[in-house]
């Protein structure tokens, strides 16, 4: 995703390689480098948190997104994060910024701090001995500009005290002005460039609003659909109750760090376009439902053919500078949902607006809750997309981008950055790749109104000639390129409704789950549109040097012997290495 985003925003082609003249439409910035996974949790904040990360986890978890953003996406900007990693602030880490980003990855662009991050080195982290030392530490590490005025206030003094040389400043200015030149900011009046004078009318075009709707549709995940409750019949649904604190609040749709929407349609407004007879009640005065009108909501639920409960979270529960400390719905939401569901004539539809995972096992296992939809924060067109899915004008095809853990996962401190499980201490690991505990829903899960089946049609290799245990660096780029092969998978829509479907292909080793090896690893995905009963072939490129490799304890990437399985749905294809 980062690769495609960087390519698109900088005016590269989807496949990459079209920035031959170096000119940029916009400068893409990869952030926040690196191991920046804590904001504000139980008194620990991002400004002083020291993330202890093993070389193994750094190599195969924390660094790969940035590496691909630079190497494949050719991003022209990097932002170093507030936090420290293994005792060194990211913005003062020469090994990270200069040796790794510029040296190993070939980064050519500017490196900026997060806003006022440089001041933290001296004022909060106590890493630097003075303001001038903080300036010297970041410039000599390879950072080019500070978001804020700290460098403007203290760089002159750092030069006068001999802590920073003019060559350090020249290097930073070269990186900064090079990108500005690539953007055309010195090629006449910047406002006369193709994208130099954008306004709201350029943003809110019909094409862009259609794109917002498409994105909202594609991102919604159907988690449960007992007895095919959804889609509801447009002709036979005579009355609908829409209940919940997130049902008619437009600002909840856009989440955090969003510009002003062109127009918004809440879930309630979207559903009103389908059903005239709608009874609405927010049910709760706030997202915690500590003050609720349960009796009123129950009365409304009893009177309607169907009930849609619009619950979840909002910016009061999850936002910048606010990490959640629980994985359950806040306050009295669960009790409220259960009471309304019990009162309804038929199983209800539960719609969740939230950014992170929730333990909703109570709803998953409750027969009175027939369907569950997760919409994330779907943006300005979210209400329309939700209504289209509920009434069958769009077939849901979203997949969960993260694991939904059970409530007890909060016993794992957010400050523990380890990926791999540790059975001796009971540490279960993190992410779908290493977590070995119970799940509410797994990464990549998502239902549809159709059923899809898969079959491997052809795979270019069944055996690779890698001897025992080999370093990827020893294979060489030419041999790695020659080792690539394709896997073709047949995908069939066995249902009666057309749909858009994401095909996920994983790699699993026959010794997966032994602690150091991932349980499985996503190596690619493609989206297809299929009519009812239609089938098509999807082609994936498999790169053994990348997809079959794992990180050793010292952070080097290796390919071990054994059997690797390509996995798509319930289909597996073995490859010996």
The answer to whether the Cα torsion of 42, 45, 49, 54 is positive or negative is positive
Selecting among 114, 137, 218, 323, the annotated active-site residue is 114
Asked if 367 and 219 sit in the same domain, the reply is: yes
Asked if 177 and 105 sit in the same domain, the reply is: yes
Q: At what angle do helices 206-219 and 382-390 cross, to 10 degrees?
A: 50
* 538 occurs within a structural domain: yes
* 431 occurs within a structural domain: no
* 180 occurs within a structural domain: yes
* 360 occurs within a structural domain: yes
Asked if 11 and 120 sit in the same domain, the reply is: yes
What are the E-state strand segments in 179-327?
A: 221-225, 240-243, 278-281, 306-312
Phi-psi region of 21 (alpha: psi -120 to 50; beta: other; left: phi over 0): alpha
Indicate the pTM of the whole model.
Answer: 0.95
pLDDT digits (tens, 9 = 90+) for 200-236: 999 999 999 999 999 999 999 999 999 999 999 999 9
pLDDT digits (tens, 9 = 90+) for 334-385: 999 999 999 999 999 999 999 999 999 999 999 999 999 999 999 999 999 9
Asked if 247 and 320 sit in the same domain, the reply is: yes
Contacts of 202 (CB under 8 A, 6+ apart): none
Q: What is the mean pLDDT of residues 13-30?
A: 90
Separation CA 569–CA 567 (nearest Å): 6
pLDDT digits (tens, 9 = 90+) for 254-276: 988 888 999 999 999 999 999 99
Asked if 101 and 217 sit in the same domain, the reply is: no
Hey, is 508 helix, strand or coil? strand
* 177 occurs within a structural domain: yes
Which CATH number characterizes residue 497's domain? 2.60.40.10
Domain count, the chain: 3
Separation CA 317–CA 314 (nearest Å): 6
**Residue 430 confidence (pLDDT):** 96
pLDDT: is 301 or 290 the higher one?
Answer: 301
The model's confidence at residue 133, banded by pLDDT at 50, 70 and 90, is very high
Asked if 268 and 296 sit in the same domain, the reply is: yes
Q: Is the pLDDT of residue 32 over 80?
A: yes
Asked if 170 and 98 sit in the same domain, the reply is: yes
Cis omega before residue 34 (within 30°)? yes
Which CATH number characterizes residue 73's domain? 3.20.20.300
Radius of gyration of the chain (CA): 26
Paired tokens of 440? 């509410």
Q: Choose one of 357, 386, 411: the last residue of a domain.
A: 411
Asked if 374 and 253 sit in the same domain, the reply is: yes
Asked if 234 and 148 sit in the same domain, the reply is: no
Contacts of 497 (CB under 8 A, 6+ apart): 392, 395, 449, 450, 532
pLDDT digits (tens, 9 = 90+) for 407-453: 999 999 999 999 999 999 999 999 999 999 999 999 999 999 999 99
**Residue 467 confidence (pLDDT):** 65
Asked if 35 and 98 sit in the same domain, the reply is: yes
State the residue range of the domain holding 338: 202-411
* 572 occurs within a structural domain: yes
**Residue 12 confidence (pLDDT):** 92
The model's confidence at residue 516, banded by pLDDT at 50, 70 and 90, is confident
Q: At what angle do helices 131-141 and 166-182 cross, to 10 degrees?
A: 60
Q: Choose one of 192, 227, 246: the last residue of a domain.
A: 192
Q: Is the pLDDT of residue 476 over 90?
A: no
* 438 occurs within a structural domain: no
* 429 occurs within a structural domain: no
Which CATH number characterizes residue 229's domain? 3.40.50.1700
By DSSP bridging, strand 44-45 and strand 348-353 are: unpaired
Are 81 and 118 within 8 A, CB to CB? no
Asked if 246 and 350 sit in the same domain, the reply is: yes
Q: Choose one of 164, 192, 220: the last residue of a domain.
A: 192
Contacts of 73 (CB under 8 A, 6+ apart): 2, 3, 4, 5, 6, 7, 12, 16, 28, 30
H-helix or E-strand spanning residue 372: strand 369-374
Asked if 328 and 206 sit in the same domain, the reply is: yes
Active site residue 570: no
């Amino acid at each position: 995703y980062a690769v495609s985003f960087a390519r698109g925003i900088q005016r590269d082609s989807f496949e990459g390689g079209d920035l031959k003249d170096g000119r940029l439409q916009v400068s893409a910035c990869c952030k926040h480098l690196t191991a920046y996974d804590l904001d504000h949790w139980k008194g620990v904040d991002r400004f002083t948190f020291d993330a202890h990360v093993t070389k193994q986890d750094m190599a195969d978890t924390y660094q790969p997104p940035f590496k691909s953003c630079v190497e494949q996406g050719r991003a022209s900007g990097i932002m170093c994060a507030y936090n420290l990693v293994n005792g060194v602030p990211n913005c003062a880490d020469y090994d990270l910024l200069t040796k790794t980003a510029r040296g190993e990855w070939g980064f050519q662009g500017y490196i900026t701090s997060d806003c006022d991050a440089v001041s933290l080195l001296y004022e909060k982290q106590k890493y630097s001995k003075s303001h001038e030392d903080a300036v010297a530490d970041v410039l000599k590490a390879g950072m080019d500009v500070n978001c804020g005025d700290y460098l403007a206030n203290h760089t002159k003094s750092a030069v006068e005290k001999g802590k920073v040389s003019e060559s350090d400043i020249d290097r930073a200015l070269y990186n900064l002005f090079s990108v500005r030149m690539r953007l055309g900011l010195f090629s006449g009046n910047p406002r006369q460039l193709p994208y130099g004078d954008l306004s709201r009318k350029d943003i809110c075009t019909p094409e862009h609003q259609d794109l917002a709707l498409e994105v909202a549709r594609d991102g919604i995940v159907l988690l449960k659909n007992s007895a095919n409750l959804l889609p509801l019949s447009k002709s036979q649904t005579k009355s609908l109750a829409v209940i919940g604190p997130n049902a008619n609040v437009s600002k909840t749709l856009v989440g955090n760090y969003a510009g002003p929407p062109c127009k918004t349609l809440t879930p309630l407004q979207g559903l009103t376009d389908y059903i005239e007879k709608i009874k609405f009640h927010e049910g709760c005065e706030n997202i915690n439902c500590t003050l609720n009108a349960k009796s009123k909501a129950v009365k409304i639920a009893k009177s309607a053919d169907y009930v849609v409960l619009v619950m979840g979270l909002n910016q009061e529960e999850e936002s910048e500078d606010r990490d959640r400390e629980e994985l359950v719905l806040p306050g009295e939401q669960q009790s409220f949902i259960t009471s309304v569901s019990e009162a309804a004539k038929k199983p209800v539809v539960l719609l969740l607006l939230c950014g992170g995972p929730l333990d909703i096992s109570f709803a998953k296992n409750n027969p009175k809750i027939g369907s569950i939809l997760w919409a994330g924060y779907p943006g300005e067109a979210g209400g329309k997309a939700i209504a289209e899915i509920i009434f069958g004008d769009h077939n849901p095809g979203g997949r969960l981008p993260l694991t939904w853990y059970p409530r007890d996962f909060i016993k794992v401190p957010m400050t523990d950055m380890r990926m791999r499980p540790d059975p001796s201490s009971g540490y279960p690991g993190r992410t779908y790749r290493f977590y070995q505990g119970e799940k509410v829903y797994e990464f990549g899960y998502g239902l549809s109104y159709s059923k899809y089946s898969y079959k491997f049609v052809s795979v270019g290799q069944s055996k690779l000639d890698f001897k025992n245990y080999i370093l990827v660096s020893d294979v060489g780029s030419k041999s790695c390129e020659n080792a690539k092969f394709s896997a073709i998978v047949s995908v069939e829509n066995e249902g009666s409704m057309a749909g858009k479907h994401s095909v996920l292909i994983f790699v699993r080793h026959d010794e997966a789950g032994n602690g150091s090896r991932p349980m499985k690893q996503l190596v690619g995905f493609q989206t297809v549109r299929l009519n009812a009963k239609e089938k098509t072939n999807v082609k994936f490129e498999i790169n053994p040097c990348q997809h079959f490799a794992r990180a050793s304890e010292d952070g080097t990437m290796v390919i071990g012997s054994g059997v690797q399985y390509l996995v798509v749905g319930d289909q597996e294809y073995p490859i010996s290495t």
